[in-house]
Structure 1
Amino acid sequence: MGFYDLSKSERTQLADTIYKEISEAVSNSQLNGIRHYFSDEDTYIRKTAYLSIGKLYKITEKTQTEILEILDILLKSDNPKVRQTTINAAGEIGMQNFEVVRHFFDVGLFDNHHSVRNAVIGSLKKMGARNPVPTLKWAKGYLEHQEKEIRREICHGIELRGRTHPQDVLPLLKKLQHDETSRVRNTLIHVLGQIAYKKGCLETVVGTLKSWDNIELVKLALDEIVDVHHRYKNFAFLSQQQAITYINQNFN
C-alpha cells in the first residue's frame, strides 16, 4: 500500500514513525535503517525520509557530522533511488548551509542515472529559493560547462529563484543566449517564460532582454512569455493582453 493510499491520520503516523526510526538510525550509525527508506519504491516514502534528514540536521546540531558522513556513504550506493534520495536530503541541508553539501551536487550532476540528476535540479531550485547567494555562485561555475546536459540542468535548476527575484538569475541566463544546443536553448526560453508572469517580474525580464544581442532567441522568449500568460492565466499577475501591450510599448 502506497503512502497516499493511507488516510491522513495514517500518513501522519507513518511519517512520525519514519522520522523516529531515521533519528535512531543516525544516532546509532545504522545505515540500513536509513537505506531501507531511501530505497523504497514509493516516492512519498522516500520524500518523507529525506525531509526527516533535513529536520534532524536542523534541530540536532550534535548529529550533523554523523548525518553528513552517512550521506557520503549512501551517495556511493549502487541503487539509484538511494543516490536520488541522498541528493534530495543534501538539498534540504543546503537550504540552511550550502557549503557543507556542495560536493554532493558536484557528484550528482554527473550521475549516470537521470533520476539522480533530476534530484540535483530539484534541490537546486529549493536551495536557490531559500539560500540563493552560495547556490547561485555554485551554479554559475557550471553554466559554460562543455557538457550540454550540465548547462541545461543548471539553467532549469535556477528557475525557482527567478520566479520571485528574476534580477538574480538573469545575468546567469544571459551566458546561455548563444548556446547552440537546442535542448539548452529550449530550456532557456522555457525558464525566461517561467520567471516573467509574477507581479513585477515581466518588467524586469523585458527590460533585461532589451540588452541581449541574440535577437532571434529574444523573439522566441517574448513569444513564450506571452504564451505563459495564457497557460498560467489563473496565476499570472497580468492578463495575456496586458502582457502583449506592455511588451509592444516597451520593446522594439
Structure 2
Amino acid sequence: MGRAALGGPRVKLSDMSRAPLRFFFDYVSPYAYLAWTQLPALAERHGRTLELVPILFAGVLNALGTTGPAEVPRKRFYVYKHTHRIAHDLGVPFVFPAAHPFNPLLALRVTAAVRETEARRRLVAALFSAAWAGGGGLVEPERVEACAASVGLDARALLAAARTPEVKEQVRLNTEELLALEGFGVPSLLADGELFFGVDSLGHLERFLRGEDPLSLEERERLRTLPMAASRV
C-alpha cells in the first residue's frame, strides 16, 4: 500500500464494481472500532474485499490544524456516552480503556508491518478488541506484542519491524493518502473513488454500493464548489 494514484487511466465502471473498499483507521478512535465491527460483513454482502489502512489520526489533525473530539472538553464526555450507545445498538462488546486518548503509534506500525491480508485482518481484530472490547488496552508494548502472538504472528519480529524506517514511512504515506483524498478523520471508507466518513455513514455507503446514492455526480460537483457567503476567519 502506498500513496493513492490521483491520475492515470480512467477505470471502467464495470471494473470498479468489485474494487476493494479501503478502510482508513486509527485504534485511538472508538468510532473506528465500531465501524470495524460492521465492515467485514458489509464488504462480504457487496462482494468486495476490505483493505485495512492504518493511519495516524493525530497526523491528520496536525496537517489540518484541528483538534480531535476527545481534545474538546465539552465534546469529550458526549463522545464517550455516544459511542457506548452506538455499541449497545449494534450489540457489540464495548469497554472504554483506562485512559483516553492513548498513543496508538506502535499498534499502527505493527499493523503496517503485516503485509498478508488475512494475517493483517486477524491482527487488526485483536488490536481493536484490546483497545475497545476489554482486552487490556494498547498502551504498553507488551500488550501489542501479546495481541500479535495471540493470532499466531511472530510478535517479536513484528515489534522489531515496527521500528524500521520503511514501516514508519508506510504509516506516514497511508496518512498522506487519506489527506490527498480530502479526508479529515477516522473512520474513513473509500469506495469507487467516493469517501465516506464515520460509523453513521455505513448505511449511506451501502446505498452507494447498490447504485442508489441520492446524490448525482452533478450535484456532488455543485456542492464541492459551493461559494461561502460568510466566514468567521
So what's the TM-score if we normalise by structure 2?
A: 0.27
Q: Find the structure with the greater CA-based Rg.
A: 1
Larger RCO (CA under 8 A, 6+ residues apart): 2
So what's the TM-score if we normalise by structure 1?
A: 0.26
Select the structure that is richer in strand.
Answer: 2
